[in-house]
Amino acid sequence: MKTERHYLLNIAVIVAALGYFVDIYDLLLFGIVRVPSLSSLGLSADQIKDQGAFIISIQMTGLLIGGIIAGVIADRKGRLSVLFGSIILYSLANIANGFVQTVPQYAWVRFIAGIGLAGELGVGVTLVAEILPKEKRGIGTSFVAGIGIAGAVLAYFISREFNWRTCYFIGGGLGFLLLILRISVFESGMFKRVKSMEVSRGNFLMLFNNGKRFKKYICSILIGLPTWYIVGILVTFSKEFGEAFGLTEKVDPAKAIMFAYAAIAIGDVLIGFISQWMTSRKKALYLFYAMSIVMLVLYFMQDGGTASQMYWICAALGFSTGYWAIFVTMAAEQFGTNIRATVATTAPNMVRGSLPLLTLLFYWLQRVFADRPSSYITAGWVTGVVVMILTIVAAYFSEETFHKDLNYIEE
């Protein structure tokens, strides 16, 4: 009888996990080196805050566009074609990132890197979900996400030892090393069968021309919304929030990101086993949503504390959002093989791509509450209330997919 360990040692699972590891290293690196890199380009503290938010938004826009491109190609040409192409693109982009001299150059390179990074997780999860038996999918995809998210921890420690430009060169080098490992991975059998059929594959418009599919797709996106609200706003701008809370020490956002992602990695592995134990994806999600709400309350109750307190709260917030793997797995499980990679790739990147909208809401609310002494804090928690309401409603209307057979197509 095959054990969980046997399935986790599957070459596709291992390579998908390492691919996501490099993906997260590159994706979070800007947040970690934001302050020193923009300072070296001659920006002031206020410019670093504003231009940093701009560059993150541009990177996420690249992820949004790249997610659509990668998903369509993966369903039309194959899962492996995207996994090879994406890693080449974002590795070259990260090497180029080490040479930027201006903010516009920085933004353009992060945009290109975002396009390349977009296909890594969704296509990897799709491949793993189609290879493993349905009873083990949650554990396999959680392993991929748990190992992958640890890439943020590596990025933090690398940033402590090397110049920010060297950090980007290392990211590009890791990508090319992974490319060698990827040669040993085989294509999904489910995709091969569908490829031989006369059926529409990778048709992004299929998600919008049918009411039931459209509802499933929107819900698939919204259930992951809190992850990038917490990481992209609360953790990334923990330095600015710390100042607004009147913390007695200056917060290092790179350290906050490291704490958050170390905890996310633990949560992502754990939720796979919790989902397995509960035999339910949705129950596991509700449990982590409840933890997120509790930790959000604690985050905004900070008043004159310490930087260490902020780091531990960021870690607890990170753990409570450790459902990225289940969220992407649910997206993959809700749709047929002919558009599964399109959904699994676009859904997480729609969430990442929502960060510019959430940032706009956050800044707009600051103007709305400008007459209050704590407009920055008020705007932050109001944005969180909106996000959590949307997410819980979407989860309620989402399909339970734990026992679902994935060997079918969308007509």
Sign (positive or negative) of CA dihedral 350, 353, 359, 360: negative
State the CB neighbour count (10 A cutoff) for residue 350: 22
Report domain 4-188+203-397's class: mainly alpha
Of 264, 259, 242, nearest in space to 251 by CA: 242
Domain boundaries, the chain: 4-188+203-397
pLDDT in tens, 105-145: 999 999 999 998 888 877 887 888 777 777 777 778 778 87
Which is more confident, 186 or 377? 377
pLDDT at site 192:
67
pLDDT > 50? residue 197: yes
d(CA 372, CA 378): 8
Which is more confident, 87 or 297? 297
pLDDT > 80? residue 194: no
Whole-model pTM: value is 0.80
Mean pLDDT of all residues belonging to the chain:
86
User: Per the structure block, which two tokens stand in for 110?
Assistant: 């992060």
pLDDT > 80? residue 205: yes
d(CA 100, CA 102): 6
End-to-end C-alpha distance for the chain, whole angstroms: 36
d(CA 305, CA 168): 34
Question: If you average pLDDT over residues 74-79, what whole number do you get?
Answer: 82
pLDDT in tens, 228-263: 899 989 998 899 999 999 998 899 988 998 899 889
